[in-house]
Structure 1
Amino acid sequence: MCIRDRRWYADEIAHGSPNLQWIGYLSTVGVYGDHDGDWVNEDSETRPVSERSRARVAAEDTWRKVADTRGVPLAILRLSGIYGPGRNGFVNLARGTAKRLVKPGQVFNRIHVDDIAGALALLAGQRLGGVFNVSDDEPAPPQDVVAHAAELAGVAPPPETGFDEAELSPMARSFYGENKRVSNAKIKAAGYAFRYPTYREGLAGLVGDYKQEKGG
């Protein structure tokens, strides 16, 4: 959605929707930018690096103004890297596009799509406002996640490749320019229990689809 469209929708909600009681906006942990692998929470400084993350910060501010205008609570859900059916390590293994890129100290944060829905339902149901990180318990090196997916699938993992030698698109390379560990303590304190607390449970719940497609 472009900025003009976002402002149009925000304006419509600000001046319409007479029964509006709560607003939820799905943002990204990308707004935190790079924190050199340290833990971040909802009070951490936002240091957006990419244009897409800067746009998310602007969108968060827009929705805060809308919520203030309407006098309703606003929940900003900052999502980690999303995976789930059709978007996971097994898909990449099947396509032959899986890579085990190694950049020392690099971790990524993840969230299963079902847990996004669950967190959203909790916050909407209780009409809670504030900023909430929606990320699983275990930030992990990407090469470890690929290796675990390969183990579950019963296939050999792709070889490890050093980050500096890897052929990546500018966007893919930009993700490795940010390193942080995202805390989910606040959403847990609000009462949410993760269905998939780490990538291990998440991949275990997805491997059946992979094997079924492979006929195994």
Structure 2
Amino acid sequence: MNLFVFGLGYSVRQFLSLHRERFTEIGGTVRTPEKVRAMEAEGIQAFRFDGTDFDPRILERIARADALLVSIPPMREADPVLERFSEAIASAPHLRWIGYLSTVGVYGHADGNWVDETTAPNPATIRSRHRIAAEREWLALGESAPFAVQIFRLAGIYGPGRNALVKVADGTAKRIVKKGQVFNRIHTTDIAQVLMASIERPSRNAIYNVADDEPRPPQDVIAYAAQLLGREPPPEVPFEEAEMTPMARTFYEDNKRVRNTRIRTELGVMLRYPTYREGLQALLEAGEGITRD
């Protein structure tokens, strides 16, 4: 099976590290020549696409692809992949599966209540509104196409090198407290198994929440990471007093609990890390957050 990826970012690279042997050929896009060289050093054929200009060889790779994974977010109120490649994708002769990586942010604020894939999107930020618009464009492309389009709404992503253990260890962790606020999370290993299960059983215009089983306040995750490392957790900081970037602050505008039932019932996925506790424990055992002399 030939796989082509738009956006060889963190989550996709974790997916490839686990399931690379399942594909006969892998290619993908990055934004700069430097990243092209870095990917090729890892044995992945990479092609430059900065959202506007692109390597023309991408068109030939789309034509050869059986599966297409898209992780590039909307740009300038439009989906850059569809803007440049919709015709090539629609006419790709071998394509049978498209996966689009979205976000649970499209549900917006639910006042801490549960949402699932049947919940009407209610995006609260411009970024999330662009996301739901891109989702709808991809689903529209798949309505009459011979390939199946799937949307994967990801919760807060963590995994090797990007997790609460690392933040506690390097001193950047903060315990920001906003009353009643909860988030779902998802380990990259579980993202990878959901994607692979979907590739094995494509379902036309399916939408999946890719989230763990236990939405929790973010300060609890930091405290648990500190406990695993045998350190004192950082002090709690009220949300109103916390120093955050505007981007980070927008994540606190949404408050919801995300159900993930569909990945189990339709894809047969049993999460390897159903809560942050199992995920952080496994990362600790792999050496995350441990300083060595």
TM-score bracket for this pair, using the shorter chain length: over 0.9
> 1:9-30 deviations in whole A, cap 9, x for unaligned?
3332113x20111221111100
1:39 corresponds, among 104, 114, 119, to 114
1:99 corresponds, among 174, 180, 194, to 174
Aligned to 1:77: 152
Comparing 94-103 and 173-182, the one that deviates more: 94-103
| Alpha-carbon offset, residue 4 of structure 1 | 5.6
Question: Superposed, which structure 2 residues align to 1:9-48 within 5 Å?
Answer: 9-15=85-91, 17-48=92-123
Q: State the distance in 2 between where 1:126 and 1:120 align.
A: 10
The answer to whether the Cα contact below 8 Å between 1:14 and 1:69 also exists between their aligned partners in 2 is no
Aligned to 2:243: 167
Aligned to 1:204: 281
The TM-score normalised by the length of structure 1 is 0.94
The answer to whether the Cα contact below 8 Å between 1:107 and 1:141 also exists between their aligned partners in 2 is yes
Q: What SS is found at the alignment partner of 2:228?
A: helix
1:30 maps to a residue whose letter is G
Q: State the distance in 1 between where 2:174 and 2:269 align.
A: 33
Question: Larger relative contact order (C-alpha < 8 A, sep ≥ 6)?
Answer: 1
Q: What SS is found at the alignment partner of 1:178?
A: coil
2:139 corresponds, among 60, 64, 67, to 64
Aligned to 2:15: none
Question: Superposed, which structure 2 residues align to 1:42-191 within 5 Å?
Answer: 42-129=117-204, 130-190=206-266, 191=268
2:184 maps to a residue whose letter is N
Q: 1:4 to 1:104 in 2, by over 3 A?
A: closer
2:274 maps to a residue whose letter is P
How many residues are treated as equivalent by the alignment? 214
The TM-score normalised by the length of structure 2 is 0.70
Which runs of 5 or more residues in structure 2 are unaligned?
1-71
The answer to whether the Cα contact below 8 Å between 2:103 and 2:153 also exists between their aligned partners in 1 is yes
| Alpha-carbon offset, residue 215 of structure 1 | 2.0
> 1:26-70 deviations in whole A, cap 9, x for unaligned?
111000010000000001010111222111111111111221242
Give RMSD over aligned pairs.
1.4
Q: Percent identity?
A: 51
The answer to whether the Cα contact below 8 Å between 2:157 and 2:187 also exists between their aligned partners in 1 is yes
